[in-house]
Structure 1
């Protein structure tokens, strides 16, 4: 039974750590890491836990490496989410009330106060801090702030004064995500659904009918020459509207969207879809074409009326074919206008028929459509009579011509139409005219960010492509709103700076936040921040000594070393903060690196607080223990990989910590010495080396594999190799002192409780990280034990296949000439030519076929063995007979039969010739 008291250890450590991790400038190397601060609008779940525990493991590791480590935390509360939550609770929304009462378990008296948004902020920011402390996060809580603190607002005002003066903030008309219910632009953080939705610009191709205009939205205006018909839904009621003084016919949904996009729209009479079917419309570039019925037309997509290009749109081709198979509209033929390599004259027909598509409901249609569209755009060319240009050029040219001559206008839609605000209202695209924008489209600014990205360390390296792509496509960003919590725009206080735009350089604010709390906000003028961050000016509202102290602290910590955040923030926050750092700070203060996290799953499904698919972090800590939660979240996947929380796997993690506890506590009285002790000491140096290298590369899972599972595997073999009846040697006490430190960043509560027991002083959180003792590294001893372990494993495998009880085991070791062949093969750069290289050796040539056959077997072995092991064997051949003879007593005890070790060359046994270096031939009789 384990004596491990996890809850008791947690209570004791939380008290001891209250002020332990408060970091101040010191005469040693600093390490400053930050993580995206949370939005405290609900309880933390295990996904949040991973976000903050992984950086904590690395903070603790760097602290033990002797660095002064800053790991700060704050709470992001600006914007409209808490306002939307508060409104829904005030309005008696049962879903929201149920979420907070049942899932988040907010007491009723506190829930009643949630009609005030700041009550939500106060409650959950306190809860976040408490849960973070329960998880053992080594945070400097002196620096905590919330983003509506008046001192922080003064900092944001200073930042935006800079951006405005440098013309990075401009006024203009742009399409933005907009919630009519909130009467506000919204960002991804304000959304319940559709966080990744992008705004897409469509061209409305305007056809004429019965004195009115019928618009069709398209992303491929160049295909107008191939229109054979329009599609309308006979089950939909359309409307005749006056749009900017002209009559248009379109869906009611489209009319509402266009009214938000800078158009005067007045809805008139209704028109049944059936009244449009079989009519004729015309366009100067398409001629007269009929209107056909199609129930697949969605009134909420585009204008609710679709132009049909069956030669180049698989959906149009198959829909037309379905009608014609019913004997309808048989005179309509596809009109090809684009040639594309790999497809026939009518690409859509070719693609549909090759794929064996049955009808328009075939599930393969979506992918097939994207395939054809992509092929035509990337390598298609319009026919000479339509201009002869590549499609990628013709697209913009035709759109421009239609806008200029044929009454076309743009229309903006989401690529994903299900976009929902946190208030519960639907989000649309709206064109705002007096809005303030961050001009991320500025090519000079983009180039500066690209240059900085080239200098930064990005983990994992492959995210660099996503950053580059984001910088390239990033457009102007609406940075202000009319309502919500936040800082007022300094030069236009009718606007409030939106939440993604006020959270771009707060990493600099952390470095001085605890100092600013003592300064009245009215004294924090732009000149004060100018002096603190840039060393310029002569502010008078704060005394110079205080300013110099604050500036000195900022310069000690900045730039930050690494920022940790989720990969879904590359497209906004993580890239935004690079733009802002480039605009505000000099080169020597630019960010140094970023680590991008994977996503969290719960039993294989994406975690979502709004959908209730979460496991609360505090519940996990209560049920399994904080160290169990930490070890699982860090060890189940590398930080950049997705992880999957499963309770049954977490339970097994607790058992692993109990084994660690028991091993260390039982080792207190270990004395004496054994031959195998030197091997264990040497293996420990390898584990230190490998765990250190893994943590330097942010591979927390790999580090844990070495620091826990690797050491545990070594101990298992060590115990097995001890003489019968013997207890562990004194080496176990040395190992445990090291092991506790190796695991301290991962399971700090348990390790603090064990530290004194293994003779440590103070807190293990500040103990020196283990370093490799080269004097205790014994490659030869490790190699000998590796040979023995592999041989034991081979014997066990053979015994499982033998139906009878064995009477003896004979081991035949490979002769010297095979070891020479192994060396030649291991050193060869081209393993396909090794036989030729072997036969250049005089002794090998004498052996002829025997040598070539052996070379082939040895080559397979070399390719199968770990590369590091092959290098060792190449550099230091092992006297296998001596090693195995020395372990004969152990082998006989293991298998309960006599064991004989002999040279394969001296034996006439037919199986002896199969002996290979590091793989003796085994005969069991």
Structure 2
């Protein structure tokens, strides 16, 4: 009698056995090839969502496949546990962030284990415990000693509701990404890491990642780093400012257009603005405009489609080449963080300047003409930004614009008005956060000694857990005397601890290294483990982390390398950026009521069916639209495999995967035997390519489904003889083996039921027999005037004249040729013979 498929009991059973036998534990072993596969670790928000399940299912298939290939696989898990979401949630629920976080971790760990992921849980890392963050405090001290960490005042995005600085990417349409409050600019003294010291290396090393990283991610990183080659040029002020400033310094990549500069644009934050408007009757209007612009999202300000707005300061500067009196404006699209915060405006040859000049009726001067054309500023509908020849440019007329760049800079350089330069879009990393739930920055402030780093032997500086969070979100640390008051590490007098905590990107910038030996207590890393396991071979995560997290991780590796801790240059050899899981075409969210819970799905269908659907519904790099009918389909496939094994388990010898031979096929003497063995080995090859090389898990599963169909079609005939049963058993074992990375519990149970004593999770990947990939015969159909009249089983390399002769000799073809004239016979190799008669 057929036994029903019970995923809950089967999955719990095999998860227990795998853990008991330590199947997924790995050790440093230089005698074996290693493979380090890693998914971006989750934030312990409370529950695993279906997007988590997708990314960890992708990683688990790779981990299991590589293990079967003979690799020593490191597949760890941990928790990105600090940060504002936990703090806000804890405040909302009236609990402590630590209690909230650890309770969520316990819940999410159980959820992940329920999915059957092949993780080495001994290596679990939690970033909010002192045993972890003590080491990043040590890194900070070493960075400070080397000059990579420093403190300065700078305007920052500030959320009044969350009471903290926000990264540019956390400001959306001028509002806080988390609470929707209006973001303002506030000058704050903050701690920075000098990531710009590595700008050139970060840019150059992207070349080494092109083979393993998605092209769009590499491009996004290049754009973010933003190397620009040009020159600094000085424009004298018509009247020196009150503080003695006599000129405006700009950076430009287009010195060839300097003769066409007709006005100057300043950022709203530029310190010269206030100097220029002191005696202007328009001063208050300029200040109001600047305030408005400062409180606008910086990314929005830099967008190409941003509506251009500005206000005239009332002041002028002088073009160093033409002597033109240029009005100085404040413009909303100029950012203080890029270049010098001042832009020489060339409206005829820069689109943003063109739009601005058109709006405010400012002058345009053409200085580059395209070949064979003459531009008229009055008739132009857009800026001309392509190459050409200089005009209206004095002694430089007639020069190609690219050649003129260097000549103009050299000319101005001789007058101390210019200097060649390289600038970067990349800015140093602000790691200060004015919130409680984060790693303390290990410095103190002494009235006598100034800024003093904590002594290494005093690490970790522990975040106190006996404090009460504030309902308004402000950090309680500045008012908590037991933490703030501490002796100066240098002179011993009373000092004050830094109460800002570190940006949580710091924790996530090195966690993957700690996994190599998280049990180390006297040092951050075990050198032998580092040398063996790092860098990560395959990293998997969302494209939303394509810039900051990946860039900061790359910086951390290079900085730690230069401190002598690491011997590699890049953290992640290969990167897979998976798409989101959608519901009805939209992103899942609680507010939309379209969230799919993995717990509900596993309770109803089992973890294997959920894994199968998440991997089968779409290629990993694309968004996946959750479908109730899709998960039902995956569940039916899982049940179909179960029924097949239940039917065959008492009738088959326990052969290994790819265990049959050509002699078995010959002895069976059945076309079903040859066809099934061929399909078996084609499937092995196809699944290996799709999982290990292409990451096309959907087509790999489809190939297994085809093999299952072939097994069903041939099983009855093959069971009639011992040799046929061996061919069938081999194919069934192969099917379970290559499907095991996707549905591991089902396949492990079926494997056991077939009589195998060893664990499938520890079995090797089957070896392809090249001879089995070649079919002994192919089927070619024969048509007469487009209608099927015969089928021919022939050798794959049959000659064209031979197969045409065979086709015409077929009795049923002869019947339809009777009394007719053959006009032509066409052979489509391997598929079709078409006979046209009249």
Distance 1:287 1:66, change over 3 A: closer
CA drift at 1:745:
0.5
Distance 1:189 1:648, change over 3 A: farther
Tell me the equivalent position of 2:547: 571
Instruction: From 485, 509, 530, give the equivalent of 2:437.
Output: 485
Structure 2 distance, partners of 1:341, 1:631, is 60
Structure 1 distance, partners of 2:836, 2:9, is 54
Tell me the equivalent position of 1:636: 617
Distance 1:712 1:188, change over 3 A: farther
Equivalent pairs, count: 668
CA drift at 1:588:
6.4
Tell me the equivalent position of 1:8: 9
Tell me the equivalent position of 2:125: 145
Secondary structure at 1:587's aligned position in 2? coil
Distance 1:554 1:308, change over 3 A: closer
Instruction: From 692, 695, 706, give the equivalent of 2:691.
Output: 695
Listed as ranges, the matches of 1:600-679 within 5 Å are 600-603=580-583, 605=585, 607=587, 609=589, 612=592, 614-668=595-649, 674-679=670-675
Distance 1:187 1:199, change over 3 A: farther
Matched, 1:36 2:40: yes
Instruction: From 228, 231, 252, give the equivalent of 2:288.
Output: 252
Check conservation: 1:31, 1:70, Cα contact below 8 A.
yes
Matched, 1:529 2:534: no
Structure 2 distance, partners of 1:203, 1:628, is 64
CA drift at 1:914:
2.4
State which drifts further: 594-603 or 133-142: 594-603
CA drift at 1:54:
0.8
Structure 2 distance, partners of 1:392, 1:635, is 55
Listed as ranges, the matches of 1:88-127 within 5 Å are 89=92, 112-114=93-95, 116-127=96-107
Render the CA deviation track for 1:573-624: whole Å, top value 9, x for unaligned.
Answer: 2233233333334436965622221321415756365865653433443454
Secondary structure at 1:687's aligned position in 2? helix
Render the CA deviation track for 1:702-757: whole Å, top value 9, x for unaligned.
Answer: 66246513414544764799899xx9855323221221111111011221221222
Structure 2 distance, partners of 1:6, 1:161, is 52
Render the CA deviation track for 1:169-219: whole Å, top value 9, x for unaligned.
Answer: 34456665554555544347866779999799999999999x999x9x999
Check conservation: 2:136, 2:506, Cα contact below 8 A.
no
Check conservation: 1:311, 1:346, Cα contact below 8 A.
no
Matched, 1:511 2:516: yes
Distance 1:244 1:160, change over 3 A: farther
Structure 1 distance, partners of 2:86, 2:235, is 42
Structure 2 distance, partners of 1:218, 1:479, is 27
Check conservation: 1:810, 1:923, Cα contact below 8 A.
no
Structure 2 distance, partners of 1:15, 1:220, is 63
Structure 2 distance, partners of 1:618, 1:571, is 32
Matched, 1:65 2:69: yes
Check conservation: 1:78, 1:484, Cα contact below 8 A.
no
Check conservation: 2:137, 2:441, Cα contact below 8 A.
yes
Structure 2 distance, partners of 1:900, 1:276, is 87
Structure 2 distance, partners of 1:276, 1:917, is 74
RMSD: 5.8
CA drift at 1:760:
2.0
Tell me the equivalent position of 1:270: none
Render the CA deviation track for 1:304-333: whole Å, top value 9, x for unaligned.
Answer: x9999764566887899899xxxxx8xx87
TM-score by length of 1: 0.58
Structure 1 distance, partners of 2:38, 2:542, is 13
Distance 1:600 1:883, change over 3 A: farther
Could you tell me which runs of 5 or more consecutive residues in structure 1 were left unpaired when the two chains were aligned: 90-111, 232-239, 262-274, 324-328, 353-368, 407-440, 444-471, 517-523, 535-551, 823-853, 855-877, 889-897
Secondary structure at 1:621's aligned position in 2? helix
CA drift at 1:563:
2.7
Distance 1:778 1:256, change over 3 A: closer
Distance 1:598 1:915, change over 3 A: same
Listed as ranges, the matches of 1:215-364 within 5 Å are 248=283, 249-250=285-286, 252=288, 254-255=290-291, 284-285=318-319, 311-312=348-349, 334-340=364-370, 344-346=374-376, 349-350=379-380, 352=381
Structure 2 distance, partners of 1:42, 1:205, is 57
Secondary structure at 2:747's aligned position in 1? helix
Instruction: From 768, 771, 786, give the equivalent of 1:772.
Output: 768
Render the CA deviation track for 1:369-417: whole Å, top value 9, x for unaligned.
Answer: 6xx47x35x768674149769489979999x99xx999xxxxxxxxxxx
CA drift at 1:507:
2.0
Structure 2 distance, partners of 1:625, 1:85, is 31
Structure 1 distance, partners of 2:233, 2:286, is 15
Structure 1 distance, partners of 2:739, 2:430, is 46
Render the CA deviation track for 1:324-360: whole Å, top value 9, x for unaligned.
Answer: xxxxx8xx8753344356975147944x3xxxxxxxx
Matched, 1:918 2:830: yes
Structure 2 distance, partners of 1:47, 1:164, is 38
Check conservation: 1:311, 1:334, Cα contact below 8 A.
yes
Matched, 1:23 2:25: yes
Secondary structure at 2:506's aligned position in 1? coil
Structure 2 distance, partners of 1:224, 1:631, is 61
Distance 1:176 1:633, change over 3 A: farther
Tell me the equivalent position of 2:393: 384
State which drifts further: 385-394 or 55-64: 385-394
Secondary structure at 1:38's aligned position in 2? coil
Matched, 1:46 2:55: no
CA drift at 1:668:
3.1
Greater percentage in helix = 1
State which drifts further: 8-17 or 126-135: 8-17
Structure 1 distance, partners of 2:700, 2:795, is 40
CA drift at 1:6:
2.8
Distance 1:253 1:611, change over 3 A: farther
Check conservation: 1:78, 1:486, Cα contact below 8 A.
yes
Distance 1:251 1:394, change over 3 A: farther
Check conservation: 1:682, 1:778, Cα contact below 8 A.
yes
